[in-house]
Amino acid sequence: GIQVEQSPPDLILQEGANSTLRCNFSDSVNNLQWFHQNPWGQLINLFYIPSGTKQNGRLSATTVATERYSLLYISSSQTTDSGVYFCAVIFTGGGNKLTFGTGTQLKVEL
């Protein structure tokens, strides 16, 4: 069925380390977004990236739509990067709704 899978489910890093989070999706998409959920529950926009590569400071993302995956790179991680990272997509022909992955729980330690 239509689904979004994220890996790894959990990740523990030392401050300063780099990491790659992966999002696989089962069908073609019109929209792909990466979010960071803060401790109070709000989803913070990181990238709107249905295809291509974008960078924003220490974060960058790449979506290869033809191969149905997206990657989020975090470099020189900081403790404030801790939290849950979600990938969400709008599948082509699937209505105007975001389908979320199960998230990656990231913990950055000193």
Partner 1 sequence: KAGVTQTPRYLIKTRGQQVTLSCSPISGHRSVSWYQQTPGQGLQFLFEYFSETQRNKGNFPGRFSGRQFSNSRSEMNVSTLELGDSALYLCASSFTGLTEAFFGQGTRLTVV
Q: Is 95 in the site for partner 1 (CB under 8 A)?
A: yes
> How far is the C-alpha of 68 from the C-alpha of 29, rounded, in Å?
8
Q: Is 56 in the site for partner 1 (CB under 8 A)?
A: no
- Surface-to-core class of residue 33, CB atoms within 10 Å of its CB (0-12 exposed, 13-18 middle, 19+ buried): buried
Q: How far is the CB of 104 from partner 1 (least distance, A)?
A: 13
Q: Is 90 in the site for partner 1 (CB under 8 A)?
A: yes
Q: Which is nearer to partner 1, 59 or 90 (CB)?
A: 90
Q: Which of 88, 89, 106, 108 binds partner 1 (CB under 8 A)?
A: 88
> How far is the C-alpha of 4 from the C-alpha of 12, rounded, in Å?
22
Q: Are 3 and 25 in contact (CB under 8 A)?
A: yes
Q: Is 97 in the site for partner 1 (CB under 8 A)?
A: yes
